């Protein structure tokens, strides 16, 4: 019953069962590779979204720092320290929110607020995660 691949002689071919077993082993290896690909693709997308959110937060923080201490509210307009937001931002195909915070800060401990603590928070929902993802940047801007 050596029908398949009998090209080299009468006893050099594969049987049907040997061929089916070989195909099953190849299918198992390919399914493992596919699972690894899908798993790594999810992590790659999460890294891309985190990088984009970090870039947005860095850009906003630079705008705030370039505006200087005089352009910061005193005190923050909405408790607990919310200055602007939440406003909508686009993060590599996802929609997220940006919220900016301003808090009074006593840097030298003399009881006078001589600096402001600024926080920029970007949040979004990753499709494959249940909890919201966040990137938060903080800085302190001293009075001029």
Q: Summarize pLDDT for 52-94 with one digit per residue, the tens.
A: 999 999 999 999 999 888 888 876 677 778 888 789 998 888 8
- Percentage with pLDDT > 90 across the chain: 30
Omega of the bond leading into 86 within 30 degrees of 0 (cis): yes
CA 116 to chain centre: 28
pLDDT band at 1 (very low <50, low <70, confident <90, very high): very low
Each residue's pLDDT tens digit, 44-53: 888 999 999 9
Element (H, E) at 129: none
Report pLDDT for 5: 54
106 pLDDT more than 80: no
Nearest to 144 by CA among 62, 72, 84: 72
Report pLDDT for 86: 87
Q: What is the chain's mean pLDDT, rounded?
A: 84
Contact predicate 136/57, CB 8 Å: yes
Element (H, E) at 126: none
Catalogue the E-assigned strands of 44-132.
82-91, 94-105, 115-124
pLDDT band at 3 (very low <50, low <70, confident <90, very high): low
Domain map (residue ranges) of the chain: 16-142
35 pLDDT more than 70: yes
What number of residues does the chain have?
144
40 pLDDT more than 50: yes
Which of residues 110 and 13 earns the better pLDDT score?
110
Report pLDDT for 26: 92
CB atoms within 10 A of CB 8: 8
DSSP SS3 for 26: helix
């Amino acid at each position: 019953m050596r029908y398949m691949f009998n090209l080299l002689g009468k006893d050099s071919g594969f049987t049907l069962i040997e061929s089916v077993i070989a195909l099953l082993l190849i299918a198992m290896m390919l399914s493992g590779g596919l699972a690894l690909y899908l798993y790594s693709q999810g992590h790659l997308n999460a890294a891309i979204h985190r990088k984009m959110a970090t870039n947005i937060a860095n850009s906003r923080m630079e705008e705030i720092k370039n505006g200087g201490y005089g352009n910061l509210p005193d005190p923050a307009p909405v408790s607990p320290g919310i200055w602007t937001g939440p406003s909508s931002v686009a993060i590599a195909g996802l929609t997220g929110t940006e919220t900016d915070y301003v808090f009074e800060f006593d840097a030298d401990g003399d009881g006078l607020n001589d600096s402001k603590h600024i926080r920029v928070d970007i949040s979004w929902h990753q499709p494959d995660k249940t909890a919201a993802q966040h990137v938060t940047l903080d800085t302190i801007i001293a009075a001029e």
